[in-house]
Copies of this chain bind each other. A is one copy, B any other.
Amino acid sequence: MTALVGIDLGGTQVRAILATEDGRVLARYRTRTAPEDGPEAVMGRIVAAARTVMAQAGGLPIAGVGAGSPGPLDYRDGVVLAAPNLGWINVPLKARLEAELGLPVVVGNDANAAALAERRFGAARGVDNLVYMTVSTGIGGGIITGGRLLLGRRGFAGEIGHAAIEPHGPPCKCGNTGCLEALASGPAIARAAAERVGRGEPSVMLSLAGGDPKRITAEIVAEAARGGDSLAADVLQNAAFYIGVALVNLIHILEPELILIGGGVAHAGDLLFDTIRSVVRQRAIPCMAAQVRIEPAALGDDAGVLGAIALFLEYGRT
């Protein structure tokens, strides 16, 4: 029996866990990322978080470290090429952590890591063909096909939030036009609600946002929709329509057996999932859609740290 360290590097928090190979958590630690302090300060916090959980090993040998990071990163040399939320450019995360911690380190994309975590420890056990989609501030993805993570040439694959489904639609911050992320992410949902409330459509969302439509968030939309607000429900269903269209495309391209949706927006629950499933039933080629399940992800906030451990288990041994 050995232990592993999992690190989830986010724009807001750095999380670390110590866990066994079967996902039993032995220790947890979290701290603010505070990227405004600069890359060296963040690197110091990551190392401190890892050492904090490593100190709880109680004599159990530690086999290695997995780290999930946002942004495009080269999985082979473990360099984070660009992580705008962190202000990082070309940070050699793997080499730095290996030097500081004296352990082998595997670095990977956070959404890819979450897909591996759901397959190993969560809602996708035994599933060889999986699409994991996270819908929150952005829309990311991790794809498993034939039992293996779909990496692409350098590990950048799985950017399912940046597949355009309205080629003349709203601009996306990636530079493309009409991406799913520009139509159905948390900020896109909030913006759509704010515009309609701002135009005077009646909704409880206005008072939930303290009278200022600009302060409407995706959480407020979901809360209002659950409470029966029809404008909020309509905004959510529009987002769900686009998610459904994107999933039909992914079903036709990848033929998964399971699609898991995580991230904050997935908390909107049945209202979102019912519309998504209905769009898929109406639009997908029947023999490809008949047996695909579309379910909420299971691991919630632990997807990142458990995903980091799954990354190490998948790629850390030769």
6 contacts between A and B (CB under 8 A): A143-B253, A150-B254, A151-B255, A164-B165, A164-B283, A166-B166
Q: What mask results when residues 277 to 318 of chain A are scored 1 for a CB within 8 Å of chain B, else 0?
A: 000000111111001000000000000000000000000000
Q: For A255, list chain B residues within 8 Å (CB).
A: 151-157
Is there an interface contact between A253 and B253, defined as CB atoms closer than 8 Å? yes
Does A248 sit at the interface, judged by CB under 8 A?
yes
- Measured CB to CB, the nearest residue on chain B to A249 is B163
Contact flag A285-B165 (CB < 8 Å), given A153-B256, A154-B255, A254-B152: no
Q: Contact at B283–A175, with CB atoms within 8 Å?
A: yes
Residue A146 CB within 8 A of the other chain: yes
Q: Once the chains are docked, how many angstroms separate the CA of A280 from the CA of B167?
A: 12
Q: How far is the CA of A163 from the CA of B283 in the complex (A)?
A: 10
| A101 interface residue (CB < 8 Å to B) | no
CB-based nearest B residue for A242: B167
Which of B128, B160, B283, B287 meets A156, CB within 8 Å? B287
The residues of B that contact A146 with a CB separation of less than 8 Å are 148, 150-151
Asked if A176 and B248 make an inter-chain contact with CB atoms under 8 angstroms apart, the answer reads yes
Q: Which residues of B contact A254 (CB under 8 A)?
A: 150, 152, 157
Whether the Cβ atoms of B166 and A285 lie closer than 8 Å is no
Q: CA A238 – CA B71 in complex, angstroms?
A: 33
Interface residues on A, range: 35 or more
Whether A110 is near chain B, meaning CB under 8 Å from some CB there, is no
Q: Which residues of B contact A158 (CB under 8 A)?
A: 253
CB of A25 closer than 8 Å to a CB of B:
no
B interface footprint on A231-259 (CB within 8 Å = 1, 0 otherwise): 00000000001100100111011111100
Contact with B along A161-184 (1 / 0, CB 8 A): 011111100000011110000000
Whether A10 is near chain B, meaning CB under 8 Å from some CB there, is: no
Is A81 close to B, CB under 8 A? yes
Find the residue from A141, A153, A165 having the highest chain B CB count within 10 A.
Answer: A153
Additional A-B contacts beyond A152-B255, A167-B241 (17; CB < 8 A): A82-B287, A129-B152, A143-B253, A145-B151, A146-B150, A156-B255, A156-B285, A157-B254, A159-B252, A159-B285, A162-B252, A163-B253, A165-B165, A165-B167, A166-B167, A175-B286, A176-B252
A43-85 interface bits toward B, Cβ cutoff 8 Å, 1 = contact, 0 = none: 0000000000000000000000000000010000000011000
